[in-house]
Amino acid sequence: MKIELIKNSCLRTEQFFTLIVICLVSFDYYYHQSDQNNIIAYNIPDPVECTGIFNICTDVGKERLGRQSMRAIHEQMDGDKDGFFQSSESTDLKIALNQAEEHAQQESYEPSSELIDLLKRTYRTEEIAFEVKRKLTENSLMTAKEQMNKISKMQKGVFHALRIAHTNCIVNVKERLTEIHDEYVEREER
């Protein structure tokens, strides 16, 4: 009886592993095909053409991808199926951009005194709020450092280390310390 149970459990284990292998192979097969279909349909540059440490595509890949994206955008905007800009659209766009640039250069914009006063008051208010938040962050950082020092002292004993590891206090304090440090760095950069 026990031998039959062991044989049945071995068969079930083998069947389970076989099922897993079949699922993985079929998933890889279908994923690979859909990836190839996307490359063919959208003419995405092949990763072999990409070079460099961050896989930056070559200039040929960039130009091809840029032209295709411009065609797709143009098709969506105009409903044209060819995906190319017409010469009249291109010249109209250039003329409009040149006119806008000339208009911006000719007019000199001077903000009103009310706007300047409002901006000064806003700056002062933001500066005060920043200082308050900076002080709070510094206090939180000091508290977290003190707690970390207490915990590290408690870890020196065998039983204390087991108790601390069990309660995950170190993880919570480290997470809070990194959050506070990130907030402090962000506020310093502002």
The reported pLDDT for the residue numbered 99 is 72
What's the mean pLDDT in 151-179?
A: 67
In this structure, are 91 and 23 located in the same domain?
yes
pLDDT tier at 57, thresholds 50, 70, 90: very low
pLDDT tens across 7-47, in order? 555 556 666 667 676 766 666 665 555 555 544 444 444 44
In this structure, are 121 and 36 located in the same domain?
no
- pTM exceeds cut of 0.85: no
The answer to whether the CB of 69 falls within 8 A of the CB of 81 is no
54 has a pLDDT exceeding 50 = no
Q: Which DSSP string corresponds to 103-129?
A: HHHHSPP---HHHHHHHHHHHHHHHHH
In this structure, are 150 and 96 located in the same domain?
no
In this structure, are 98 and 160 located in the same domain?
no
State the total domains in the chain.
Answer: 2
In this structure, are 7 and 91 located in the same domain?
yes
In this structure, are 10 and 50 located in the same domain?
yes
The reported pLDDT for the residue numbered 120 is 83
Where does a domain end: 106, 138, 171?
A: 106
CA-to-CA distance for 56 and 84, rounded, in angstroms? Answer: 26
Where does a domain end: 106, 140, 168?
A: 106
Where does a domain end: 81, 106, 131?
A: 106
In this structure, are 127 and 76 located in the same domain?
no
